[in-house]
Amino acid sequence: MQPAEPSEGGGDAGLLRTLFQEHSRAVLAFTLRLTGDRFAAEDIVQEVFLRAWQNTAELREVRSVRAWLFTVARNLFIDRVRAKAARPAEVTDLSSVPLASKDHAEGVVDSMIVYEAMGELTPEHRAVLVQLYYLGRTVSEASRALGVPEGTVKSRSYHALRAFRRTIGSGTKEPTG
Amino acid sequence: MSTHDQGLLAAHSLGALTAAETVELEQHLADCPECQLELDELTETRGLLDSIPPEALLDGAAEDSDLLLARILRAAETGDTATPAEPPDTAVAEATDITKATGKKAAKRRPGGWRRGLLVAAAVVIIAGAFGGGMLTGQHGGGAPSQATAESGTQTFTAFDPGTGVGMSMDVTNGLGWVALEGHFTGVTPGTPCDIYVITKSGQRILSGGWVAPPNANTATISVYGSAIVPPTDVASIAIVTTQGRQLVTTSV
């Protein structure tokens, strides 16, 4: 995954398509897990990409487009949960701030780096992590799904984690904890 | 395991080994501080993955998302963004027509435009599907007999299937040549992908909505929405079917 580069100018359909082609599977899977409902999930996805389209200038500044999209999605979901609880007045300000709420700002800085590192993984490394980590499959199941030997699955999982850690290490300006 | 196997350690840190492999590895770890150190580091790295949603690993466009993209592009072009910055009730202006059409149900609708927005979104999807995708005009291209208006209003149908344990209360609202559905379900196994089918008197099955049962679906009442372009007078029954084809519950109309 290479994050889309929102450099073609704001508000154009081409950019919106590019963002959608690169990120919609991830964002929809995320919102589907949050909502448990395909219609509700797609409704949030629609709004996430519209906001991206409306905030091209802001997207140019972020380290990870995907982190931005996920944060908007999560905030929209929270808005709607709160709206269902008949407290819409409290979320007006939050909804106008696409990035994470301030009380979690520190955590978001860290996760930005994690998102960024994830974006640096090669397709092969990513595919193994999707199988083992995201789908929770065993090595032999992943081997069958990917059509590669079990030894390859194991070694790719090792190199994926090492590459991931290296990228995070180089992306962290100050050592943590 | 007699040698250092970094791949095995990584797979273990990701929880991807079988029980037998885990036992074997743990026996090796007991005598190999070098591997234990490596494992600790890999486990710590895996913990970093946990700090963001696992879906962030996925790539590409969502499956079957052409209509969703078309809807987004259309909304972007028309400025119909339905952003929460606006009061929720103005989010989808078209939805008011549906509310009006429901007559007695109008007062029972939930506050805010979101749910109604979903109903409209569902209708747009079905409309687009019915006319082969492409432009989303939001208009019924034909087959909207005027006699359907005579049936305007909402009726509720209930059913319980003792075989599956699934109960359903389905509100069917008649529109101009189409029906809007609001269903409430109990007893659905969490995680089950379900579809709503409207079955016409001629036996045609029209996919009218779908959802994945949330974690509390077997203990709480779940509300879902759907729609179908079929004259209300042609609706014979409504069935809830898993995407694997298992019928959960059905009701005659």
**Contacts of residue B121 in chain A, CB cutoff 8 Å?**
39, 42-43, 46
Q: Cβ neighbours of residue A175 under 8 Å, at least 6 residues apart?
A: none
Select the residue of B53, B84, B215 nearest A30 (Cβ to Cβ).
B53
Whether B41 has a pLDDT exceeding 70, the answer reads yes
Is B88 within 8 Å of A83 when comparing Cβ atoms? yes
DSSP letter at A131? I
**Residue type for position B252:** S
pLDDT value of position A149: 97
Distance CA B176, CA A149 (A): 58
Between chains, do A123 and B59 touch, taking CB under 8 Å as contact? yes
The per-residue pLDDT string of chain A (177 residues; one tens digit each, 9 = 90 and over) reads 444 444 444 467 888 899 999 999 999 999 998 888 888 999 999 999 999 988 888 888 888 899 999 999 999 998 888 777 654 444 333 333 333 333 344 444 467 888 888 888 999 999 999 999 999 999 999 999 999 999 999 999 999 999 999 988 776 544 433
Report pLDDT for A87: 45
CA distance B151 to chain A (A): 27
Region B62-77 average pLDDT: 88
Tell whether the model's pLDDT for residue B117 goes beyond 60. no
The three-point CA angle B188-B192-B196 to 5° equals 75
Question: Is 60 exceeded by the pLDDT of residue B66?
Answer: yes
- Which one is predicted more confidently, B99 or B115? B115
Q: Evaluate whether B117 touches A42 at the Cβ level (below 8 Å).
A: no
CA distances from A164 to A95, A114, B20, B46 (A): 32, 8, 28, 9
Residue B26: is its pLDDT beyond 90? yes
CA distance B174 to B177: 8
Residue linked to tokens 């009006």: B100
Please report the pLDDT score of residue B84 as a whole number.
Answer: 40
- Residue B15: pLDDT band (50, 70, 90) is very high
Asked whether the beta carbons of A13 and B39 are under 8 A apart, the reply is no
DSSP of chain B: --S--HHHHHHHHTT-S-HHHHHHHHHHHHT-HHHHHHHHHHHHHHHHHTTS-GGGG--SPPTT-HHHHHHHHHHHHHT----TTS-GGGS-TTHHHHHHHTGGGGGGSPSSSHHHHHHHHHHHHHHHHHTTSS----S--S---GGGGGG-EEEEEEEEETTTTEEEEEEEEE-SS-EEEEEEEESPPTT-EEEEEEEETT--EEEEEEEE--TTTTTS-EEEEEEE-S-GGGEEEEEEEETTS-EEEEEE-
B167-216 pLDDT, tens digit per residue, is 888 888 877 677 888 888 888 888 888 889 999 888 888 888 888 888 77
- pLDDT for res B80: 60
What value does the mean pLDDT take over residues B17-25?
Answer: 93
CA distance linking residue A132 with residue A143, whole number of Å: 10
pLDDT band of residue B29 (cuts 50, 70, 90) is very high
Amino acid at B119: L
Read off the pLDDT of each residue in B56-60 and give the average, rounded to a whole number: 91
Q: CA–CA separation, A173 vs B6, rounded Å? A: 28
B32 band by pLDDT with thresholds 50, 70 and 90 = very high
| CB contact (8 A) between residue A47 and residue B10 | no
Chain A: closest CA distance from residue B58 (Å)? 5
In this complex, do B75 and A46 lie within 8 Å of one another by their Cβ atoms? yes
Judged by CB atoms closer than 8 Å, whether chains meet at A25 and B62 is answered as: yes
pLDDT at position A85: 64
pLDDT value of position A163:
94
φ and ψ of B252, to 5 deg: -85, 150
Contact yes or no for B48 and A83 at CB 8 A: no
Closest-CA residue of chain A to B91: A47
Residue B149: CA atoms inside 13 Å, Cβ hemisphere, count? 5
pLDDT above 70: percentage of residues in chain B: 70
pLDDT single digits (tens) B205-253: 888 888 888 877 777 777 888 888 888 888 889 999 988 888 898 888 8
CA distance A81 to A97: 17
Instruction: Compute the count of residue pairs across chains A and B with CB atoms less than 8 Å apart.
Output: 214
Residue, of B51 and B97, whose pLDDT is higher: B51
pLDDT of residue A83: 74
